[in-house]
Amino acid sequence: MVLHFYTGEGSCPAMQFLVDYKNRGIFYRSARDGYGFEADWSEFYTTSRKPTPADILALALSGGSMSGSIKFINDAFLIWERNTDWAKIGFKNDSDADSDSYMWFETGDNGNEYFKWRIRSGSTTKDLMTLKSDALRVTGQVIPSNFSNFDSRYVRDIRLGGAATYKPANNGMTWTHQAPSGCVYTGIIVQDTGSNSADNIGGVYYRPVQKYINGTWYNVAQV
């Protein structure tokens, strides 16, 4: 059924309403000046004839694809929930002067949840890294872009320092000697006591063990 309204005045001299049967919709169109009805019918959305997400360029609750970005202006976050487990991604910021702004990730329920990074090529999925409460596990080698943190803490080389000696007061006495802490023996001093006597140990050589850390050599405390 078409309802036609005509005034013959102004920029909209006529208007029509089209009412479809069995509540199948209400449509309208209006005329412009003396040009008649230039545009096609437009539909009224009602409680029984609601627009689809595509009609209003919205994303359906059941899912879909978006070509634009989503901007959160508050401390909002995304939540996934299934059974009693969940995963969340959020952002915390109090103001422009906030010195404690951060993005956070969270999984939860009973402590068995964890984070996993994966890569997929064709039909093959490969785990790159997992983060659990006890450890971070990486598949393959970890190569930092700057090694200064490692260089400042770890031993890069080992060597023996300058030699020192110990000699008893004479070669006719019984003696013992223990290398100082952090040192190792590197040689002995043998003395001839005569043709009819065995040679005596007249002393020892020892050197400190040294380690190289962050550009400096250090004597080790003990061996």
Where does the pLDDT of residue 197 fall: very low under 50, low under 70, confident under 90, or very high at 90 and above? low
DSSP-assigned beta bridge partners for residue 212: 157, 217
Q: How far is Cα of residue 4 from the mean position of the Cα atoms in its chain?
A: 65
For 40, residues 6+ apart whose C-beta sits below 8 A from its C-beta are 29
Q: Where are the domains of the chain?
A: 2-44, 77-108, 157-219
What is the predicted pLDDT for the residue at 76? 80
What is the predicted pLDDT for the residue at 178? 94
What is the predicted pLDDT for the residue at 151? 79
Query: What value does the mean pLDDT take over residues 31-50?
Result: 90
DSSP 209-223: EEEEETTEEEE-S--
Q: How many residues would you count in the chain?
A: 223
Single-letter amino acid, residue 144: P
The residue that leads in pLDDT, 184 or 197, is 184
What is the predicted pLDDT for the residue at 96? 81
Q: CB–CB of 88/77 below 8 Å?
A: yes
pTM assigned to the model = 0.49
Where does the pLDDT of residue 35 fall: very low under 50, low under 70, confident under 90, or very high at 90 and above? confident
What is the predicted pLDDT for the residue at 218? 94
* C-alpha distance from residue 77 to each of 74, 151, 154 (Å): 9, 39, 41
Spell out where 1-123 has E strands.
Answer: 2-6, 14-19, 26-30, 42-44, 77-82, 85-92, 102-108, 115-121
CA–CA separation, 123 vs 116, rounded Å?
A: 18
What is the predicted pLDDT for the residue at 101? 86
Q: Tell me: the pLDDT tens digits for 61-107?
A: 998 888 888 888 887 889 999 998 999 999 888 788 778 888 899 99
In a 10 Å sphere around its CB, with 0-12 CB exposed, 13-18 middle and 19+ buried, how is residue 200 labelled?
middle
What is the predicted pLDDT for the residue at 223? 67
Both ends of the chain: CA-CA distance in Å? 103
What is the predicted pLDDT for the residue at 207? 97
Q: Tell me: the pLDDT tens digits for 100-140?
A: 888 899 998 888 899 999 999 999 999 999 999 899 999 99
What is the predicted pLDDT for the residue at 21? 85
What is the predicted pLDDT for the residue at 147? 84
**Neighbour tally for 183: CB within 10 Å:** 20
CA–CA separation, 180 vs 93, rounded Å?
A: 58
∠ CA 114-117-123, nearest 5°, is 120
Q: CB–CB of 90/103 below 8 Å?
A: yes
Q: Tell me: the pLDDT tens digits for 141-178?
A: 989 899 888 778 888 899 999 999 999 887 677 889 99
